[in-house]
């Protein structure tokens, strides 16, 4: 591996702060952080970018999760069950990270994200309604949420990662009828689990750049703290708007990587 220059380290720290803010508001910080690591570390194996990304992301996600847990309404038993299952699934995904081609999954991810964007655009009240007015989710829907959130999305996060927070929020709103704010708070707790599970595997394989990760983590935590407090102040409408921006940016980034890079 080549040495990391001071300029590269500073740029990566700034990106880490912005990624922490985005991730705390609605998820999708990996959209910024992982490509930045891949570009900033061109002579390193992609697994080092994936591992370092998890070492940084887990700190900001933890700060956001604690902030939301103190001030946002949460079904804590459900959140902890999802997080525990997600930890194991993400570890499984990380085990396959070096064997699966990222390019092979990008078209499928773009289709899913475009569907998400269209769903949010054409349902203006999506995630903004009163949870108390909606019927309680059935056992079948709760079981499906455990499967999709705790297994499928968590596995994806360990495998690649970008967009995980967005997928979590959409699933929690769509299947369990949560508001955007409550879904984001729950997603942060789940995301701590996915990051820890994947990080354990990457760290065990020695694919985390520990000389770079601590500084980036500090900036990521600062951004996450600011983002979580802003989302709590401004509510579900603000989170919904940021969600659309992040989904659009993620689709554009994936399309660029797929066809023009």
Q: Which of the 8 DSSP states describes residue 5?
A: P
**Tens digit of pLDDT for each residue in 105-129?**
567 666 766 776 676 667 655 555 5
Nearest alpha-carbon partner for 40 in 6, 17, 66, 72: 6
Q: What's the CA gap between 159 and 90, in Å, rounded?
A: 7
Confidence (pTM): 0.80
Average per-residue pLDDT in the chain? 84
Q: What is the pLDDT of residue 133?
A: 46
**How many C-alpha atoms does 2 have within 13 Å on its Cβ side?**
10
Two structure tokens written together for 196: 């820890």
Q: What's the CA gap between 200 and 11, in Å, rounded?
A: 26
Q: What's the CA gap between 100 and 206, in Å, rounded?
A: 19
Q: Which of the 8 DSSP states describes residue 131?
A: G
């Amino acid at each position: 591996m080549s040495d990391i220059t001071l300029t590269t380290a500073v740029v990566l720290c700034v990106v880490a702060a912005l990624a922490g803010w985005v991730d705390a508001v609605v998820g999708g910080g990996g959209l910024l952080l992982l490509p930045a690591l891949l570009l900033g570390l061109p002579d390193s194996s992609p697994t080092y970018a994936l591992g370092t990304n998890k070492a940084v992301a887990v700190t900001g996600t933890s700060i956001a999760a604690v902030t939301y847990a103190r001030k946002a309404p949460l079904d804590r038993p459900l959140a902890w069950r999802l997080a525990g299952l997600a930890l194991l699934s993400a570890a499984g995904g990380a085990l396959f990270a070096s064997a699966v081609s990222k390019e092979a999954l990008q078209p499928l991810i773009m289709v899913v994200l475009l569907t998400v964007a269209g769903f949010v655009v054409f349902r203006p009240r999506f995630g903004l309604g009163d949870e108390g007015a909606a019927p309680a989710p059935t056992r079948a829907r709760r079981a499906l949420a455990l499967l999709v959130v705790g297994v499928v999305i968590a596995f994806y996060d360990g495998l690649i990662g970008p967009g995980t927070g967005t997928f979590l929020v959409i699933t929690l709103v769509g299947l369990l009828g949560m508001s955007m704010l409550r879904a984001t708070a729950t997603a942060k707790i789940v995301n701590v689990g996915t990051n820890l599970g994947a990080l354990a595997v990457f760290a065990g394989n020695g694919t985390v750049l520990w000389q770079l990760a601590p500084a980036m983590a500090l900036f990521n935590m600062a951004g996450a703290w600011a983002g979580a407090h802003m989302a709590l102040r401004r509510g579900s409408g603000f989170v919904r708007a940021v969600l659309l921006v992040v989904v659009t940016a993620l689709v554009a980034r994936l399309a660029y990587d797929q066809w023009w890079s």
